[in-house]
């Protein structure tokens, strides 16, 4: 009976020790440049200290002496703000669990957005990415293929007003809009994977520049539509007034 009780006591101690050292094993993710509160919970500790913080490039955070975590109840906290580098940070420390010096290890990740995509979210992003790219191509084709100028004879006389120009301009506008949506989705995906840092920055820059141009392109297309509509109204009135003589080129 004594042996059983001794085994149970040792087992409970080992479980409590493991739980104390494994708690808060990962602090999740934080946005680049933001501070993160590193926490450890220990019911039977009088202190918990951080001994090292390893950056993603394997260099270590300069700690001249052990960083003492502030205590609030049974929780120990330390605010860390050196998060300019993307990737995984490894933190090691120790505390006097039940009077016994016990080490612990934890980690956190720094991403451009402060979160990582789950599998289901990644699938949704990929579906949206494919759909927006297909829609972009669907509008890009008529934007390229549709005619813009009025039909004219070799001598320069107008034979018919081209109304397809308006569909062409609208196709350009919609194609640009779906391209923006595509880039935004691609930017969201790349920004959520820390291994795509350089690609993420490249895509982010492209998306940022496209945003700057989007307002100007919208106003430009609307202005062109208004001007062309005004010109075609005048041209249509001229054709109605002079009839076949205008179409034949006697009036231009």
pLDDT at residue number 65:
58
Using left for φ > 0, alpha for ψ between -120 and 50, and beta otherwise, residue 158 falls in beta
| Top-confidence residue, 128 or 21 | 128
Is the per-residue pLDDT at 136 higher than 90?
yes
Q: How confident is the model at residue 243 (pLDDT cuts 50, 70, 90)?
A: low
Tokens of 203: 């895509």
Estimate the share of the chain in helix, then strand, then coil, as percent rounded to the nearest 5.
50, 25, 25
pTM flag (> 0.85): no
Residue 10 has pLDDT above 60, yes or no: no
Domain ranges of the chain: 25-111, 119-247
Among the residue ranges 56-60, 102-106, 129-133, 225-229, the one predicted with the least confidence is 56-60
Nearest-10 crossing angle of helices 164-191, 197-242: 170
- Do 56 and 90 meet the contact criterion of CB atoms below 8 Å apart? no
Specify the fold of 25-111.
Immunoglobulin-like (2.60.40)
Question: What DSSP letter does each residue of 75-90 carry, written as one string?
Answer: EEEEEE----S-EEEE
d(CA 13, CA 17) in angstroms, rounded, equals: 6
Of the ranges 8-12, 49-53, 150-154, which is most confident? 49-53
Rg (CA), the chain: 33
What pLDDT is attached to residue 108?
92
pLDDT for residue 181 is more than 80: yes
């Amino acid at each position: 009976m004594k042996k059983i009780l001794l085994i149970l006591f040792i087992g409970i101690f080992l479980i409590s020790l493991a739980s104390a050292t494994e708690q808060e094993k990962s602090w999740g993710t934080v946005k680049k440049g933001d501070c993160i509160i590193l926490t450890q919970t220990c019911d039977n500790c009088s202190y918990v200290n951080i001994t090292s913080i390893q950056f993603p490039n394997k260099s270590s955070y300069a700690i001249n002496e052990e960083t003492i975590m502030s205590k609030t109840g049974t929780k120990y906290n330390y605010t860390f703000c050196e998060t300019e580098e993307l990737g995984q940070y490894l933190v090691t420390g120790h505390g006097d669990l039940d009077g016994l010096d016990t080490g612990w290890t934890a980690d956190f990740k720094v991403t451009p957005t402060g979160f990582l995509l789950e599998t289901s979210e990644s699938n949704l992003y990929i579906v949206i990415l494919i759909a927006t790219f297909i829609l972009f191509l669907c509008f890009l084709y008529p934007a390229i293929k549709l005619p813009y100028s009025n039909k004219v004879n070799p001598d320069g006389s107008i034979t018919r007003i081209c109304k397809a120009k308006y569909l062409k301009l609208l196709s350009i506008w919609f194609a640009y809009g779906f391209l923006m949506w595509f880039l935004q989705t691609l930017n969201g995906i790349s920004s959520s994977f820390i291994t795509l840092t350089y690609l993420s920055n490249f895509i982010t820059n492209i998306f940022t520049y496209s945003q700057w141009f989007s307002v100007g392109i919208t106003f430009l297309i609307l202005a062109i539509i208004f001007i062309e509509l005004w010109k075609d109204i005048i041209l249509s009135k001229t054709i109605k007034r002079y009839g076949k003589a205008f179409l034949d080129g006697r009036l231009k």
